[in-house]
Each structure stands twice: as C-alpha cells, then as structure tokens.
Amino acid sequence: MSRAHFLAGIVLVATPVRAETLQDAITAAYGSNPVLAAARARREALGETIEQARAEGRLSASTEVSAGYDRLDYGRGARATIGASLPIWTGGRVATAVHAARAEVSAADDDLRDTEAAVLQNVVGAYADLMYFQQAVEVSRVALERLDRQAAETQSRYDLGDATGTDVAQLLAQRASVAATLVDTEGALAGVAATYAMLVGHEAVRLAPAPSTLANLPGSLADARKTADTENPLIGARRDVAEASHARIAQARAQAAPTLSIEGLYGYSRSLEEADRRGYASAAAGGLTFRLPLLTGGLIASRVRQAESVLRADQYEVEVAVREAVRSTDASWATSVAASRRLKANAEEVAAAERALKGVQAEYALNLRSTLDILLADQSLRAAQLSLARSTADALIAQAALLRAIGRLSRSAFGNG
C-alpha cells in the first residue's frame, strides 16, 4: 500500500460510515476464512468413513462380462455373470470399524472446534492491534494539533518578549518528534490492516470500540481449570482418538473370527464360432458361505500388538493434552488478570495526565511554568494515552486466549450465538 493510498484511507476514516464491530469481523471470518473452509471440508470428508464402514455389512452386487478365445473348449465365446453377497455374520469386523470411525469423526469435530477457536483468536488479535494503531495514529495527530497551538502561542509570546527562542525551538523539536512517530505508526497500521484483511476477508475502514469483556469468561482460576478439563477441544480430540484406537484393537482381533454370508451367482455364456452357434443354458448358484482364517503367518497377531501400542501412545497423548490445557489456562488466566489491572491503572493515569496538562498550560499562561514543563506534561499525556490503548487491546487479546484455553472461544463469546 502506497502512502498516498494509506492517507486516502485515513480520510475515509473521518467520513460518517458505519464502524465495523468485532461481531462483524467474526461473522465475516466465519463466512470467508479459507482456513476454516478447508477444515470444514476435511471434517465432511472424514465423516464419510462411518458410512464406508457400515457398507462392509450390507448387500453388495457386481457383474462381469467377458469375451475371448478358448482353444481347449469351444473356441470363441462370451460370458456374462452377476453375483451378489450379503454378510450375515462378520465376526465383529463391521461393528468395530463403525465404532472406530465414529470416534475418529468425533475427534475431527473437536479439532474443527479448535481450528475455529484459533481463527477467532487471530481475528481478535488483529482487531485489537488494528484498533490500537488507529488510536495511536489519532493520539499523534491530536498531539500535533496541540503542539501547533502551543508553538503558535509561544511564538506570539516570543514576539512580545515574554519567551525565548529556545522555548520555540523546544516545541518545534517535540513536534518534529511526534511527526516522525506518526509516520512510523501509519506504517505499522498499514501492516496490521493487511493482516486483518487476510483473516476477515475485507479491508476495514473504521473499527468500533471492542467490548470491554467477552462472554463466557470463568469467575476464578479453579473454574477455568475445571472447564478446560471438560470443554477444551484438544483434550476431547485426544480422548476420542484413544477411543478409536481401542476399537481398532477389537477390529484387528476380529480378523481371526469366522464370517458367514449369503452368496448367489447367475450367469450365461454363448459360443461365437461361425460353424457352431451353440448357446449354453443359463446357470444360477446360491448358498451360504462360511469362512474361517486358519493360518495368517502371524499377521493378525502382529496387527493386534500394533494396535495395542498405538493405544498406549494415544493415552499418553491425552495426558499431554491435559497438561498443556492446564498450563495454557493458568498462563492465560494470569495474563488476563494482569491486563485487566493494567487497563484500570492506565485509565487513571490518562485522567491524571489530562488534568496535569491543563493545569500546566494554565500556569504557563501566568508565567508560573516553563516551556519544558509543558513539553513534559504533553509527553506524559501521549504516553499515558498510548498505554491505555495498548492495555485495552491486550486485555481483549488475553480474554480471547483464556477462552480458547478452556474451550469456550466461539461465536457466542461475541454475541453471535
């Protein structure tokens, strides 16, 4: 983005257009974010494995048509057959496969929830950062206007002999510093805006203030830990994967069980020799088929041992997920509490800095304060305003991180139900 285009966008900020809310951003991301779309498509694909597992226990039929030359029989001929098979007893193969597929799909549902939460967390972070830099740009602009007025007043006093050239130079120097800060902030704002557009799917013109508190936040650290154990999607996914692995053991053992099915075959063949147009009567066969693996070379036993090892690994992964959930919950809780306290302190700091600057300006008019006092008060106010804007953004980001850690970062946290 060129600086001219960026400045044109800043002009649009001042126009009376509807500000985009955090809820608007979340809704847009849900509808357009390609990461979410890809995750949903993968979940839909995996959902078909349940139907595929069930199909192994259903009626199946196939047909075969062939033509060729048989030297030892009737020369050239053609044959067509159709066969069907209906499993009656599969030794548990189908039931265990369906059980495993359902558990894996349930794990995919939890993984999708975490993917959605990750996208939401990124959107919240981009929204908070963009909001901060928009406010930072505004703080610098207001400061420039304030310094311009102060410089004009000091220049008038200098012309009257009530101020020195040093006073004017100090104000102009601070103004130049603020102008340089504004340029840097505008550059950072453009970068954050690009990230926001990537996540949400469109460029933001003007952002509305974010809610001070998101919904579904826990009331205490103990509540947060308890909620994380039951609602954290990564823990749920690991538990579902372990359940699927347990079913895979039974599925592997079922390979050694007998099967029983009803099978039928109907066929018709015909000679194609010029001198012999004999046709052959159609034939049909049907009955029960019983199959029992007698010797597999140790294949089934090996598959069972393999499945048992996979289950042990998945059970350890559950413990890893639980510990990580506790760690992230504790860390995000501490960060959220600290951000909330810092936000309150920064708000008080801004109020005090505004009173201080007004007081210094009034006393400066009475020759009770120096230009340096005004510069220090102005600098303190800008620093306090930037700290307040940053802590507001950090508090929102920390709340989103906490909600994701405990498994409650969803659209309902932003009023989107």
> Does 267 have pLDDT greater than 90?
no
The answer on 349 and 310 residing in a single domain is yes
DSSP 303-352: HHHHHHHHHHHHHHHHHHHHHHHHHHHHHHHHHHHHHHHHHHHHHHHHHH
What's the pTM? 0.83
3-state secondary structure of 289: strand
pLDDT averaged over every residue in the chain = 88
Residue 36 has pLDDT above 70, yes or no: yes
**Does residue 10 belong to any structural domain of this protein?**
yes
CA angle 323, 326, 330 (to 5 degrees): 145
Over residues 37-81, the pLDDT tens digits come to: 999 999 999 999 999 999 999 999 998 887 766 554 555 667 788
Please tell me whether residues 139 and 66 are part of one structural domain: no
Res 241: pLDDT: 96
- Residue 140 falls within a domain, yes or no? yes
Residue 40 lies in a domain: no
Average pLDDT over residues 359-377: 88
Q: What is the 3-state secondary structure (H, E, C) of 132-176?
A: HHHHHHHHHHHHHHHHHHHHHHHHHHHHCCCCCHHHHHHHHHHHH
On the question of pLDDT at 195 being above 90, the answer is yes
Residue 47 domain-assigned (yes or no):
no
Residue 3: pLDDT band by 50, 70, 90 thresholds? very low
Do residues 17 and 66 both lie within one domain?
A: no
Name the β-bridge partners of 65.
80
Q: What is the share, in percent, of the chain residues with pLDDT greater than 90?
A: 66
Q: Domain range spanning residue 253? A: 3-32+90-258+298-414
305 shares its domain with 396: yes
Same domain, 274 and 131: no
Residues 209 and 157 in one domain: yes
Residues 244 and 380 in one domain: yes
Q: Are residues 248 and 208 in the same domain?
A: yes
pLDDT in tens, 76-116: 667 788 989 999 999 999 999 999 999 999 999 999 999 99
Tokens encoding 82: 């159709």
214 and 153 together in one domain: yes
CATH number at residue 244: 1.20.1600.10
Residues 352 and 408 in one domain: yes
Specify the number of domains making up the chain: 2
Is residue 37 one of the residues assigned to a domain?
A: no
- pLDDT (0 to 100) of residue 71: 53
Query: 129 and 275 share a domain?
Result: no
pLDDT at 281: 57
275-288 pLDDT tens trace: 555 555 577 888 89
Model confidence at 185: pLDDT above 80: yes
Q: Amino acid letter at 168?
A: V
- Give the pLDDT mean for 266-274: 69
pLDDT in tens, 217-237: 999 999 999 999 999 999 999
Question: What's the pLDDT band for 15 if we cut at 50, 70, 90?
Answer: very low
Mean pLDDT, rounded, for 303-313: 96
Residue 332: CB atoms within 10 A of its CB come to 22
Which of these three, 292, 310, 334, is where a domain ends?
A: 292
pLDDT at site 370: 87
On whether residue 150 sits in a domain, the answer given is yes
What pLDDT shows up at residue 70? Answer: 56
240 assigned to some structural domain: yes
Give domain status of residue 243, yes or no: yes
Q: What's the pLDDT at 285?
A: 82
Q: Identify whether residues 125 and 196 lie together within a single domain.
A: yes
Q: C-alpha angle 205/208/214, rounded to 5°?
A: 135
Q: What CATH code is carried by the domain that includes residue 278? A: 2.20.200
Cα pseudo-dihedral 394, 396, 397, 400, rounded to 10: 160
Q: Please compute the mean of the pLDDT values over residues 124-145 and round it to a whole number.
A: 94
pLDDT of 320 higher than 60: yes
